[in-house]
Chains A and B, each alone.
Chain A
Amino acid sequence: GAVVSQHPSWVICKSGTSVKIECRSLDFQATTMFWYRQFPKQSLMLMATSNEGSKATYEQGVEKDKFLINHASLTLSTLTVTSAHPEDSSFYICSARAGFNIYEQYFGPGTRLTVT
């Protein structure tokens, strides 16, 4: 149980284009989903927290107009990187949590984004 998928697993796009990454909880309903960014050989940095049906809460320093997050259902959240630039190249990972009184979050396999 507690499986989270991400799609695509890797994507290459040209500078100026937008890219959408999907995060799905496959066998449970996720009241909360989190989006993280990870640079090579570094830890995870939380970008935003999203609860189903409400606006995402972005961490300080994360541009909400650039990283659009939508959590339209209890099993799906999407992250859209708009007008991507090479500095947006990174490993993006989502996680999902089943409820507010449940401590664990389960991670997707990550999406490697390369902007050329």
Chain B
Amino acid sequence: TQLLEQSPQFLSIQEGENLTVYCNSSSVFSSLQWYRQEPGEGPVLLVTVVTGGEVKKLKRLTFQFGDARKDSSLHITAAQPGDTGLYLCAGETQTGTYKYIFGTGTRLKVLA
């Protein structure tokens, strides 16, 4: 069974602080996506990383895909209350059919 473990599970920080969320697996993925989800809504795609070692930046968010394509990280600089939400990573597998395995999730709360 393929698993994607995210850490930490919960994070409560003050506005302006930096944070990093990790997404780890023993499996290799073709690509990896990061999503943010608000309560009662579907996840919204933040970024897709494909190449091992790839780094992508989206304003204050920096995403990195591990060299072996088994892990990823999301770093947020100067967090703001609007960053509050559930962050999910999802790895794309190609065993049999193309599908996505979701991480366990990181619930972030940024306090003003």
Using a CB–CB cutoff of 8 Å, the interface residues on chain A facing chain B are: 4, 6, 32, 34, 36, 41-46, 49, 57, 91, 93, 95, 97, 100, 103-110, 112
Contact = CB atoms under 8 A, between A and B. Distances in A.
Contacts of A93: 42-43
Given A41-B107, A42-B105, A103-B50, A110 B100 contact: no
Interface of B: 30-31, 33, 35, 40-45, 48, 50, 88, 90, 92, 96-105, 107
A4 B43 CA distance: 11
Nearest to B99: A49
Contact of B42 (A41, A45, A49, A110): A110
Contact of A104 (B48, B96, B105): B48
B45 A43 contact: no
B102 A110 contact: no
What secondary structure prevails in chain A residues at the interface with B?
A: strand
B33 A45 contact: no
The CB with the most chain B CB atoms within 10 A, among A41, A105, A107, is that of A105
B98 A100 contact: yes
Nearest to B96: A57
Given A103-B48, A109-B42, A45 B97 contact: no
Contacts of B48: 103-104
Given A43-B102, A46-B102, A103 B92 contact: yes
